[in-house]
Amino acid sequence: MIIPQTPKGFRDFLPSTSLKRKLVLAKIVSVFERFGFDPLETPAIEFAETLKGKYGEDEKLIFEFTDRGDRQVALRYDQTVPLSRVVAQYPELPKPFKRYQTQNVWRAENPQKGRFREFLQVDFDVVGSSSTLVDSEIAQIISAVLKELGFKKFRILLNSRPLLNDLMKSSGVDENLVTGAITSIDKLKKIGIDGVIQEMVGRGIPTEVAKKVIESFQNAKPNQEVQSVLDTLKDSGEDMSSFVFEPTLARGLAYYTGIIYEAEVEGFSAGSVCGGGRYDKLIGQFSGTDYPANGASFGFDRVLEAMEEQGLLPEVKTTTKVLVTIFSKDLVQNSLKVAQELKAQGINTEVYLDTDAKLEKQLKYADAKGIPFAIILGPEEAEKAVVNLKNLSTKEQTQVPISEVITKLT
């Protein structure tokens, strides 16, 4: 006998959970489209060489394997690298190219709270413009999405990779150790100052230099890049209390070249819910020509966790509005005709498909599934051309013409 289970780090989503995810995703997508972004989909599998060399230390998390044609391929690790491949492969795309992408990615993580081996990533990017307006719009969209989802208190942290590099250089970090030192700084909230210093020392950075790095970050001021974004946001009428310069924000991925972002929801301790930044050199690895690019990604599972903690997730079990019951085999045709009329009017309608089931069993099924209404059509109702409409929450039942049912359910 096969044990019914999923591999570690992979999940099933039953209907009630799947419906919540669908509703939340639809809200996020509505914001993307409000700002002029269009959808893009890419394959689950890319050539391994497409993905490798883009993620720094995180490259070890790529699911890589040899296919039956003896080709080295890998599951999609994120959606930024595939986007870069698309832009290089289809140079005729209008620039700036504004796209959003909502697909699963795979990472060989050690599964834990908030971390899975397969999860939905929600990205939006602008390719082809180095304007500060793009940098500020990415931050605006992050804010707009969080508001759309109902969050009242959140912070969007901003920093600059060039500023990080300058701080490392002025602190005396060897040029060959800068990337590793930035990766360590990115863990400051998780492991604290002592932990970061210890990790940098382990990377070959002298203790005194590591301490100087911490001090320089604590005293840092926004550079022109960050200040320009903050000024543009202010000029756009944004509530500036949500946007914060954070000099220790690093973002672990190696391909960032400019402004970087992370979003935190107040009261949610599992980490940031969105992150991203400018990556002007990544696409050039595929095309030989650099394209300015900027974007961000929402961690969909973390967004859902934060919404659940704050009571923002909708309660929904099913999209079905009404169950049309089968009173008897003689009246099947009548029930099917009523169901067809309801569907024609755009009402999500289910017909109970067992003609031998007792009415009590059918109503229990509707109640268990969360269907709010049931229609009962017996011989008396068929003769009068009416139906009994039952509210399964209040148990109230009224006899009405079919046209009135449509009015009540729309």
pLDDT tens digits, one per residue of 197-238: 999 999 999 999 999 989 898 889 999 999 999 999 999 999
The pLDDT score that the predictor gives to residue 324 is 97
Q: What is the pLDDT of residues 140-153, one digit of tens each?
A: 999 999 999 999 99
- Higher-scoring residue by pLDDT: 302, 271: 302
User: Measured between alpha carbons, how far is 294 from 137 in angstroms, rounded to an integer?
Assistant: 10
Of the candidate CATH numbers 3.40.640.10, 3.60.21.10, 3.40.309.10, 3.30.930.10, the domain formed by 15-309 belongs to: 3.30.930.10
Euclidean distance between CA atoms 290 and 288, whole angstroms: 7
In the annotated binding site for L-histidine, the residues are 78-80, 107, 121, 125, 251, 255-256
Instruction: Report the pLDDT value the prediction gives residue 252, as an integer from 0 to 100.
Output: 66
CATH of domain 322-409: 3.40.50.800
CATH 3.40.50.800 domain position(s) in the chain: 322-409
pLDDT bin (cut points 50, 70, 90) of residue 109 is confident
Judged against a pLDDT cut of 80, whether residue 321 lies above it is answered with yes
pLDDT of residue 190: 84
Q: How many whole angstroms separate alpha carbon 216 and alpha carbon 196?
A: 14
Q: Where are the beta strands (DSSP E) in 64-153?
A: 64-66, 72-75, 97-106, 118-127
The pTM (predicted TM-score) of the whole model is 0.89
- Give the model's pLDDT for residue 389: 95
Where exactly does CATH 3.30.930.10 map onto the chain? 15-309
Q: Is the sign of the CA dihedral 193, 228, 132, 24 positive or negative?
A: positive
Q: Please state, in angstroms and rounded to a whole number, the distance separating the CA atoms of residues 362 and 352.
A: 7
How many other β-carbons are positioned within 10 Å of the β-carbon of residue 78? 21
Residue 213: its H or E element: helix 207-218
- Reported as a single tens digit per residue, the pLDDT across 304-316 is 999 999 999 988 8
How many other β-carbons are positioned within 10 Å of the β-carbon of residue 63?
18
Mean pLDDT over residues 184-207, rounded? 90
CA gap 374, 363 in Å, rounded: 7
Question: Which residues have CB under 8 Å from 197's CB, separation 6+?
Answer: 207, 210, 211, 214
pLDDT value of position 255: 82
Going by the annotation, the residues of the binding site are 78-80, 107, 121, 125, 251, 255-256
pLDDT, average across residues 249-258 = 82
DSSP for 145-206 reads: HHHHTT--SEEEEEEEHHHHHHHHHHHT--GGGHHHHHHHHTTHHHHHHHHHHHHHHHTT--
Q: How confident is the model at residue 112 (pLDDT cuts 50, 70, 90)?
A: confident
Give the pLDDT score at 188: 84
Asked whether the beta carbons of 352 and 336 are under 8 A apart, the reply is no
Q: What is the mean pLDDT of residues 243-272?
A: 89
Beta bridge partners of 275: 262, 297
Q: Is the pLDDT of residue 2 over 90?
A: yes
pLDDT on residue 362: 97
